[in-house]
Amino acid sequence: MSTTFQLETSTSRANPTPQPMRRLTVPAIRKRKADGHTAEPIVMLTAYTARQAQLLDPHCDVLLVGDSLGQVIYGLPSTVHVTLEMMANHAAAVVRGSWHAVVVVDMPFGSYEASPERAFDSAAQLLKASGAAAVKLEGGEAMARTVEFLVQRGIPVMGHVGLTPQAVNVLGGYGARGRTEAEAAKIVGDARALCAAGAFAIVIEGVMEPIAAAVTTAISCPTIGIGGSAQCDGQVLVTDDMLGMFERVPRFVKRYDDLAGRISAAAEAYAGEVRARTFPGPDQIYQP
Ligand code: KIV
């Protein structure tokens, strides 16, 4: 089966029509973990554009439209500046470019924390505008009531505990969490509370490895690690990090390519040919 599809501009659907047509569902992801065990780990990557989604989709169970797009796409200093409109637009593009993975969209900072009702309005707006299947929000026990409120009203929620980047101004940076016993216990308690509230999966970011392993054993819903543990029920990375688009490589990132180097080399070759007037060549011009 071909793994690359063209985007049909008239219908915004993939062409050739991929088989099977049925997308994975949120309940199917939740059910990957049964009796505390996940036989097939959940594969999740971030996606922000339709083309990126097309390329990643055949290999992923979940595509996350992460608010990391604030830094990755918009060059913002943190995710705090990301808006609901940015998330809705990129999520819609990712839904149009995918056919197989569950698309989850991050709720941006300021769109959900004030009250469950506010969170419902924002989440509904995101899902209506994009066609994504679920939202992700950051925070532990303090967000449990909101998670329950959303799930009871038809909005699947993925939780996010440990290092929560939207709280950078409270945390004081992006260092790994769970270095003290109290902090470790809080992370486990946060994950338990979200799972009990009905989260279908929980991202555990930037924590000491034994904590991620302990949370995975402690809760019935799947954990998805990033700087977590190989014992987690799934893994996620920011796609641009793992493709090698940035010089700065956090410890938890494995680079599977050097796209920055390759893009730079391609741009250098192009610039050289333009300056030497060897581009366009005979193959790239129209002759009367
Ligand atoms: O915004 C994001 O990309 C995320 C992942 C790092 C989990 O939340």
Domain layout of the chain by residue ranges: 2-238, 243-278
Taking the chain, what is the end-to-end CA distance rounded to the nearest angstrom?
Answer: 40
Dist CA 108 CA 85 (whole Å): 10
Beta bridge partners of residue 14, listed in sequence order: 7
CATH 3.40.50.300 fits 2-238, yes or no: no
The pLDDT of residue 1: 40
Q: Is the predicted pLDDT of residue 2 greater than 60, yes or no? A: no
Residue 276 — very low, low, confident or very high, per pLDDT cuts 50/70/90?
very high
Our answer on whether the CB atom of 106 is closer than 6 Å to any ligand 1 atom is yes
The pLDDT of residue 22: 83
Q: What is the mean pLDDT of the chain?
A: 95
Residue with the smallest CA separation from ligand 1 atom 6 is 238
The string of pLDDT tens digits covering residues 234-271 is: 999 999 999 999 998 999 999 999 999 999 999 999 99
Percent of the chain with pLDDT over 70: 93
* Interval between CA 84 and ligand 1 midpoint (Å): 16
Structure tokens at 99: 């056919």
* Interval between CA 66 and ligand 1 midpoint (Å): 5
The pLDDT of residue 4: 61
* Interval between CA 116 and ligand 1 midpoint (Å): 22
Region 277-286: what's the mean pLDDT?
98
Is 181 marked active-site? Answer: no
Region 37-49: what's the mean pLDDT?
98
Region 34-53: what's the mean pLDDT?
97
The pLDDT of residue 275: 98
Region 83-99: what's the mean pLDDT?
98
Residue 74 — very low, low, confident or very high, per pLDDT cuts 50/70/90?
very high
Our answer on whether the CB atom of 68 is closer than 6 Å to any ligand 1 atom is yes
